[in-house]
Structure 1
Amino acid sequence: MSIPFHAITAETPTPDKLAACYAALNARLDEGDMSRAVAEWEQTRRAVEQWSALTHLRFEQDTQDEARKAAQDYRDELAPTITNHETSFKTRLLAHSNRDAVARTAGAHALRLWETDITTFSPEIENDLQAESKLQSRYVALLASARIEIGGKTVNLSGLAPYQQSPDRRIRHQAEQARWHFFSANAAAFDEIYDSLVKLRTRMARKLGFGSFTGLGYRRMRRMDYGPADVAAYREQVRLHVTPLVQRFHERRREQEGWDRLHAWDEPMVDAQGNVEPAGDESFLRAQAQGMFEAMNGDLAAFYQDMNENGFLDLDNRPAKAPGGFCTSFPSAGMPFIFANFNGTHHDIDVFTHEMGHAFQNYRSRHLASFDYLWPTYESAEIHSMSLEHLAYPHIARMVGEENAARYRRMHLIQSIAFLPYGVCVDHFQHEVYANPDATPAERHAMWKKLEALYMPWRNWGDLAYPARGGRWQAQGHIYSAPFYYIDYTLAECCALQFWVKSREDYAKALRDYVALCGLGGSKPFLGLVQAAGLTSPFQPGVLEGAVKAARTVLGL
């Protein structure tokens, strides 16, 4: 059993304390005690990360609390100092006279990661990194400030979801009108924040010797076994093989409902009977999840019980709470934490199983020797989360009721497939943005509008003027806060769909392979982990065709 969440503490680092700590670590190296230096560095990195994660989580839990905002600002300001120390120490270890000994101590793959990391930082960009973090926090706070009147209630963006998925088409339309009214009213702020981010990131890239931010962005993501050309080819595979299937599904829905045309507010309504909702509230889902995980895997069940009973879940939607969901971790304590915003829709189940996949992987990896292995790179990490969504299918009745289980599985599969064109559109947009960093906000909106028509030709915004002009991307937080991240979800979904196909053939083996993959953490690069799990690389031509064929059969399309 872990310690309770409320007992987790973290000392706030200061520039002086960090300088003294790294001076001691460098002294160890000067003395020739490399093994002890690396071991002590591991503990230092875990402690600093625990403070950073705890500070960020508290801010996201209440973005209006002044003390938490101040702590987050301090975290943002200190982050480049931390990176500076880490980069310098990595550089020194990489230059060690006995590189083989360093590799044996820290892990050979860790050294490859460090070689990537040291190209992404220089003291020259410390102030720029601080400015970037503050702009990202401004975006989060702006989203969290939304107060939307609908149905006689005041809700935030997360609370709008039930109205966006209402069986009543008129209410869905009203919900989208309310959503985009908020974005339109704050258009200048959204545009200004992003314009500042693009120009700032481009300046940093050029200071570091990159031709554009794209190269730096890929290095930041620690991508070492594929590049932009591979991703571009993958996007085209999605356009060729997945977009037609999604378009066929939407056309069938239009015919079923007798609509003259499908509008954007109709797309979330996947099921003609109404999207499946959870069979109960947050406390019900917490209780039911225990039985679901017990039916799947004993280790997963014991881990979930630990999280649930010791306060490592924050799932309810509250005013001033940041929207979205994520999993973070406290590496000194060896426990992850799940943050979400339950709103009474099927998304509660989706995000819960998704973040549990992240959490289980991190927990399974907690004893790996290297700090760099606690999490894999992002596209690999999303395999764990998205695959668990599909692997929960046989036991999902506990969450939605036996009578709705088949409908949920169908709905979730459709949404998983339909996500791919949107996901690659987000990625393509960012490549266009950073290839043209001097574009005006209006030109960026035009970029999105053109790409949206390419990957999602069915999309019709009707009378919603703001997204119709190309503003949809501003609701996608990753574009602001995690550049070039979003393609990772689609690469992982390609792998998760392979796990789904395998589970239909041999569920027990698929689950064993999944648990084994979680245990590898970040000890290999993306394609190495894919191979270790017995999966096919998303960059292999034709890999999507198999999943699309299986989905078409199951969905009757």
Structure 2
Amino acid sequence: MESNNAKIPTRPKRQFIDENLMVDSWEKIEVYFKSLLDREINSVTDLEQWMLNRSELESVLEEEQAWRYIKMNIDTTDQKLAKDFAFWIQEISPKVAPFSHQLNVKLNSSIYLKELDNEKYRIYLRGLQKAIEIYRDENIPLMVEMETKQQEYGAIAAKMTVEIDGQKMTMQKAAQFLKETNREKREEVFNIINNRRLQDVDTLDQLFDELIALRQQIAKNAGFENYRDYKFAAMGRFDYTPADCYAFHDSIAKEIVPIIEGFDKSRMDKMGLENYKPWDTSVDASGKAPLKPFEGGEDLINKS
């Protein structure tokens, strides 16, 4: 296998957080939050350095949470990985939230704030000030509960498997059969997949209803009529409104949907079908067999 001599980027050396930090307790990261809160800021240069250190802390924590989430979803049967993620959601995130709010307030109240480059920091500070505005202590346990239920929802979906031709497989792998040229096979697999989903429909519906109630309460606590408006603020959507989204949806329905329907009609005609079904949307319309660029992990690595 030929090498393309690509240079793999390396992570910059940390300036504030211990390179060997292992987050297995709140106490190991609490010290960094307290350091930032207690630090004296005597110039705009001090303030920018403080912001860089805070950014590094947040990046480390975000990466740690992301890896725990990824590993949990790679193997949903591994209880340790699930517990590692649950520990983060239930023990770390709730304690980070009030400290993050205090850091936001410290920055926003700094006498050196006005000396920061407005062009460089305007968008960041706009979001930070909105975060201060919508923060509520009473929402922290609700967010923990929401995250826990979202994890449960994802775990149920990730554990779903089906049996195709005597082989047990994930839903994602089974979906590859929807590219097969045999229409009867595609229909069979489509029904197997959807029947499997229906087995958990009551549990998932209940979880979804509970999540809606939690989200609505979070929004109400923060002074919003609904979760949509709350999330617009929380995600920093300052440059467009819900009304703009509705207008965009309407334009898609008017201009794009007819084009897609035309594509579907063209595919149906090319396939010689009198009706077009959900199991006909992924197969090659010209009758070509699905591509199989590799077989298994070793083959993928060898061909990379």
TM-score range, shorter chain: 0.7 to 0.9
**Hey, what does 1:25 align to over in structure 2?**
36
Q: 1:279 aligns with which of 273, 276, 293?
A: 293
Q: 1:35 aligns with which of 48, 52, 55?
A: 48
Cα drift, residue 47 of structure 1: 2.0
Tell me if structure 1 keeps the 8 A contact 2:162–2:170: yes
Which runs of structure 2 are paired with 1:173-212 in the superposition (5 Å)? Answer: 173-212=187-226
SS across alignment from 1:118: helix
Cα drift, residue 163 of structure 1: 1.2
The one-letter amino acid of 2:147's match is S
Residue 12 in structure 1 maps to residue 23 in structure 2: yes
Residue 152 in structure 1 maps to residue 187 in structure 2: no
Deviation string 1:402-448 (CA, Å, 9 cap, x unpaired) is xxxxxxxxxxxxxxxxxxxxxxxxxxxxxxxxxxxxxxxxxxxxxxx
Aligned partners of 1:25 and 1:110: how far apart in 2? 18
Cα drift, residue 75 of structure 1: 1.1
**Hey, what does 1:386 align to over in structure 2?**
none
Which runs of structure 2 are paired with 1:138-537 in the superposition (5 Å)? Answer: 138-274=152-288, 276-281=290-295
Unaligned runs of 5+ in 2: 1-7, 12-18
**Hey, what does 2:64 align to over in structure 1?**
51
The one-letter amino acid of 1:99's match is L
Tell me if structure 2 keeps the 8 A contact 1:10–1:51: no
Aligned partners of 1:22 and 1:108: how far apart in 2? 24
Deviation string 1:182-229 (CA, Å, 9 cap, x unpaired) is 111111111011111111000000000011001112223322211111
Deviation string 1:102-153 (CA, Å, 9 cap, x unpaired) is 4569733211221233344321111111111111111111012112011221
Aligned partners of 1:9 and 1:253: how far apart in 2? 56
Aligned partners of 2:133 and 2:298: how far apart in 1? 46
Tell me if structure 2 keeps the 8 A contact 1:83–1:121: no
Aligned partners of 2:271 and 2:285: how far apart in 1? 11
Deviation string 1:505-552 (CA, Å, 9 cap, x unpaired) is xxxxxxxxxxxxxxxxxxxxxxxxxxxxxxxxxxxxxxxxxxxxxxxx
Aligned partners of 2:245 and 2:169: how far apart in 1? 38
Tell me if structure 1 keeps the 8 A contact 2:47–2:112: no
Tell me if structure 2 keeps the 8 A contact 1:10–1:47: no
Cα drift, residue 30 of structure 1: 6.0
Cα drift, residue 55 of structure 1: 1.6
Q: 2:127 aligns with which of 97, 102, 113?
A: 113
The one-letter amino acid of 1:23's match is K
The one-letter amino acid of 2:109's match is A
The one-letter amino acid of 1:55's match is R
Q: How many residues align?
A: 286
Tell me if structure 2 keeps the 8 A contact 1:96–1:102: no
Tell me if structure 2 keeps the 8 A contact 1:206–1:212: yes
After TM superposition, the runs of 4+ consecutive aligned structure 1 residues lying more than 6 A away are none
Residue 72 in structure 1 maps to residue 72 in structure 2: no
**Hey, what does 2:15 align to over in structure 1?**
none
Name which structure has the greater RCO, CA cutoff 8 Å, separation 6+.
1
Cα drift, residue 39 of structure 1: 2.8
Cα drift, residue 2 of structure 1: 4.8
The one-letter amino acid of 1:82's match is V
Change (3 A) 1:178 1:140: same
Deviation string 1:34-54 (CA, Å, 9 cap, x unpaired) is 233223212221222232122
Cα drift, residue 17 of structure 1: 4.0
Cα drift, residue 275 of structure 1: 6.2
Q: Percent identity?
A: 17
Which runs of structure 2 are paired with 1:542-553 in the superposition (5 Å)? Answer: none
Q: Which structure has the larger Rg? A: 2
Change (3 A) 1:208 1:147: same
**Hey, what does 1:60 align to over in structure 2?**
73
Aligned partners of 1:40 and 1:136: how far apart in 2? 31
The one-letter amino acid of 1:53's match is A
**Hey, what does 1:524 align to over in structure 2?**
none
SS across alignment from 1:219: helix
Change (3 A) 1:275 1:110: farther
**Hey, what does 2:4 align to over in structure 1?**
none
The one-letter amino acid of 1:40's match is N
SS across alignment from 1:63: coil
SS across alignment from 2:39: helix
SS across alignment from 2:163: strand
Aligned partners of 2:303 and 2:115: how far apart in 1? 49
TM-score normalised by L of structure 1: 0.48
Deviation string 1:55-112 (CA, Å, 9 cap, x unpaired) is 2222122122111111110111122322322122112212222222345697332112
**Hey, what does 1:413 align to over in structure 2?**
none
Change (3 A) 1:182 1:24: same
Tell me if structure 1 keeps the 8 A contact 2:179–2:290: no
The one-letter amino acid of 1:124's match is E
Deviation string 1:326-350 (CA, Å, 9 cap, x unpaired) is xxxxxxxxxxxxxxxxxxxxxxxxx
SS across alignment from 1:122: coil
**Hey, what does 1:441 align to over in structure 2?**
none
